[in-house]
Amino acid sequence: MNNPLTPEQEAALVAAIRQAETTTSGEIRVHLEDTCPTPEPLDRAAQVFAELNMHKTALRNGVLFYLAWDTRQFAVIGDAGINSVVSDEFWEITKEAVLEQFRIGKFVLGLERGIKMVGEQLKRNFPYDATTDQNELDDTISFGDAKPPRV
């Protein structure tokens, strides 16, 4: 995929992830790709979650923000640890906060807001412990494959 973000936008998202992770043992990733290859973006987010080995964090507290850029499909998904302490309503509220910004073309701001909201929940439920915590997952944005050729 061609990266739709400017270097500044990408740096802002990585900074938002790092800021959110300073107060928690939780892990946050953002994955972008051109189009969603599954009918439901949540299904694709679960696939990407597994491909990125996000289920291998010690406390199972990883969260993935998934966006199919060209088709404007979005999902946010958490692992078993965070799902055991937040409600389904939290995920809906977070998704709507992100989509509210997406609807007005502010994709980076939407993701930053979602990251901040997730970071607050992770902090509340999985606080940072300087003696045991380590950054278990890469903070950089991951990207999906390029679009398949049109036939």
CATH code (residue 107): 3.10.310.50
CA distance 94 to 74: 12
In the chain, what's the furthest Cα-to-Cα distance?
55
What is the reported pLDDT for 90? 96
Residue 150 in domain = no
Which tokens hold the place of 73?
């499909």
Q: How confident is the model at residue 3 (pLDDT cuts 50, 70, 90)?
A: confident
Residue 32 in domain = yes
Q: What does pTM read for this prediction?
A: 0.93
CB atoms within 10 A of CB 139: 17
Range of 108's domain? 22-142
> pLDDT tens across 42-82, in order?
999 999 999 999 999 999 999 999 999 999 999 999 999 99
Q: How confident is the model at residue 151 (pLDDT cuts 50, 70, 90)?
A: very low
Residue 17 in domain = no
Residue 90 in domain = yes
The number of domains in the chain is: 1
